[in-house]
Copies of this chain bind each other. A is one copy, B any other.
């Protein structure tokens, strides 16, 4: 595999077994040191480093960092005491007989040498510079590791799916605009002036059509597109591992997805215990204040609504009162509690009430004095605290209060160092509502219809069996057959049983306030397809960038994407997006005027 026109071995293949043999190597000058008239080169290739020793000054003179060179030389053991235990090739070195410079390098705008492996010490430039010189940024060993991990992950998932009889099928990316809750990127169609394609937000409708066609197990690593306003860690194009099955129910899909996830983690050396635990959406909200709870640690939310039902404290006279325990928090200085107030306000909350259980048993903190004596006396037990702990409260609307407490819970764990990146806590979240209120101020999805209800997942989600006959009579309480897979507080993916009958689909669209005309215009083809015998089907998709980032322990999905966009969708490397020429614009047909055409 290593033998090519330019080399006999990769760097890390040069081991003690080759001592005395001649090898040809090729790669980059990772580092050069000169010592007593002898040059020592760390030669870097895709596998790692090997030391090259050059006695000939003429030969060594031109070599600079990041030059691409080909080295012919003999392998020998390093002199006693010169071994490097940290290197796979640390026992040997290659004495250069000849060196050819394959390509020179200017001085780099920032350092990429493996010698800076402890990269926390490597002062990287800002992200725009890293992205402008992405091909250099990717030379850093940690980035090469991320690329390899992602490739390994895709391979593992594909193999697992193939084992289970899945067919990889490609779906088009120049499609009709579909209603999936975000803005479409659109492409003018030169051959049909005034008309546009849309780039897909997902292959949702197309994979459903594949099920109607008789494909029973489809998968695709699908490129998806959403034209959203810039948010940290969003990309205008992203990848999902998209899967769909016919003649299955929710349990079938979850069991299949668990095998895929286990195979992915296994490929990185981790064993996941199956089955993955489950939590209902309601429990996740009540216990963790999140529909994607981080279960690497405990410390669930404590509901105190009942406890404070007769409270004299106006703030706690609310539909919901809850708390999160801050273990050992009593020792926290006052200015840090003030900082927590700011933290909460940045999240849109009014503040963050708290009490402190002092070591001497006293109850302190701004809230304490507002409580009744009975409330003060029972509070420690009610929240499960001990002397020396503190407690944060939230009160108000149930969902937003729980979400605030959920965020506090995670932030406390983060500050306590409990969020270990290689500790993976998976959970399914199940039993989702079918609909959610359109006017939810915490929600920034775009409603697709005109009613007070919008889909919790998407309009093609099947109501759960109990609700099929009555979901439209009581949308508020209707449940769906859908499921999210969550890891370490991230939504890794989600799916649902789909509607496969046009009568049910019509009723769901009606609840969403989508008129039959709009429905016909936007996805009439799906409703039409359901008239010709659609099988029951269900599926799931995993956000591939996110999954890779979780597995790699990367802070940002940008670290697991070869060429990501910067903020605002800019690409500092190529300069995209960019203006186009007047001629190119004319050709797109965007300025086509049908009235003019009639002259």
What 10 new A-B contacts, CB under 8 Å, besides A5-B248, A186-B187? A46-B216, A135-B212, A136-B532, A155-B162, A172-B571, A174-B236, A183-B587, A187-B187, A191-B230, A191-B569
A248 CB to closest chain B CB (Å) equals 5
Partner of A534, one of B68, B155, B169, B194: B68
A530 CB to closest chain B CB (Å) equals 8
A130 within 8 A of B: no
**Copies held by the complex:** 2
Q: Are B176 and A46 in contact (CB under 8 A)?
A: no
Partner of A187, one of B172, B199, B564: B199
A88 within 8 A of B: no
Q: Identify the closest chain B residue to A533 (Cβ).
A: B105
A104 within 8 A of B: yes
Q: Identify the closest chain B residue to A237 (Cβ).
A: B174
B residues less than 8 Å from A165 (CB atoms):
1
Q: Which of A209, A245, A562 has most B Cβ within 10 Å?
A: A562
Q: Chain B interface: which of A121-129, A146-154, A452-460?
A: A146-154
Q: Are B171 and A563 in contact (CB under 8 A)?
A: yes
A106 within 8 A of B: yes
Q: Are A529 and B1 in contact (CB under 8 A)?
A: no
Cα distance A50–B206 when bound, in Å? Answer: 28
B residues less than 8 Å from A184 (CB atoms):
584
Q: Are A563 and B206 in contact (CB under 8 A)?
A: yes
Partner of A209, one of B135, B209, B536: B135
Task: Decide: A6 near B135, CB < 8 A? Known: A174-B576, A189-B577, A214-B144.
Answer: no
Cα distance A577–B193 when bound, in Å? Answer: 9
A409 within 8 A of B: no
Q: Are B577 and A196 in contact (CB under 8 A)?
A: yes
In the A-B complex, the 3 residue pairs with the smallest Cβ-Cβ separation, listed nearest first, are A138-B213, A105-B533, A189-B577
Q: Are A248 and B139 in contact (CB under 8 A)?
A: no
B residues less than 8 Å from A186 (CB atoms):
187-188, 580, 584, 588
A525 within 8 A of B: yes
A364 CB to closest chain B CB (Å) equals 49
A133 CB to closest chain B CB (Å) equals 8
A574 within 8 A of B: yes
Q: Can you list 25 A-B pairs with a CB-CB distance of less than 8 A?
A: A1-B165, A4-B247, A5-B252, A6-B247, A26-B247, A28-B214, A46-B215, A66-B533, A68-B533, A103-B530, A103-B533, A104-B533, A106-B532, A135-B209, A135-B529, A137-B213, A138-B210, A150-B169, A158-B158, A177-B578, A186-B188, A186-B580, A187-B577, A195-B576, A196-B579
Partner of A28, one of B6, B28, B533: B533
Q: Identify the closest chain B residue to A573 (Cβ).
A: B525
Q: Which of A191, A500, A569 has most B Cβ within 10 Å?
A: A191
A271 CB to closest chain B CB (Å) equals 22
A102 within 8 A of B: yes
Q: Are B46 and A195 in contact (CB under 8 A)?
A: no
A425 within 8 A of B: no
Q: Which of A530-588 contact B (CB under 8 A)?
A: 530-536, 561-565, 568-571, 573-580, 584, 587-588
Chain A window 233-272, contacts with chain B (Cβ cutoff 8 Å), 1 for yes, 0 for no: 0001101000001111101100000000000000000000
A490 within 8 A of B: no
Q: Identify the closest chain B residue to A584 (Cβ).
A: B186
A18 within 8 A of B: no
Cα distance A401–B135 when bound, in Å? Answer: 47
Chain A window 1-24, contacts with chain B (Cβ cutoff 8 Å), 1 for yes, 0 for no: 100111100000000000000000
A170 within 8 A of B: yes
Q: Are A214 and B533 in contact (CB under 8 A)?
A: no
B residues less than 8 Å from A194 (CB atoms):
579
A75 CB to closest chain B CB (Å) equals 19
B residues less than 8 Å from A188 (CB atoms):
186, 590
Cα distance A357–B167 when bound, in Å? Answer: 56
B residues less than 8 Å from A562 (CB atoms):
169-171, 206, 210
Task: Decide: A139 near B214, CB < 8 A? Known: A206-B563, A248-B5.
Answer: yes
Q: Are A147 and B575 in contact (CB under 8 A)?
A: no
B residues less than 8 Å from A213 (CB atoms):
134-139, 144
Cα distance A2–B195 when bound, in Å? Answer: 44
Q: Identify the closest chain B residue to A149 (Cβ).
A: B167
B residues less than 8 Å from A148 (CB atoms):
167
Cα distance A148–B165 when bound, in Å? Answer: 11
Q: Are A570 and B192 in contact (CB under 8 A)?
A: yes
A197 within 8 A of B: yes
Cα distance A137–B18 when bound, in Å? Answer: 60
Q: Are B185 and A168 in contact (CB under 8 A)?
A: no
Q: Are A168 and B195 in contact (CB under 8 A)?
A: no
A415 CB to closest chain B CB (Å) equals 34
A26 CB to closest chain B CB (Å) equals 5
Task: Decide: A168 near B187, CB < 8 A? Known: A174-B237, A196-B577.
Answer: no
Q: Identify the closest chain B residue to A530 (Cβ).
A: B103
Q: Are B237 and A173 in contact (CB under 8 A)?
A: yes
A110 CB to closest chain B CB (Å) equals 11
Q: Are B209 and A134 in contact (CB under 8 A)?
A: yes
Cα distance A174–B225 when bound, in Å? Answer: 10
A229 within 8 A of B: yes
Cα distance A196–B169 when bound, in Å? Answer: 29
Q: Are B168 and A154 in contact (CB under 8 A)?
A: yes
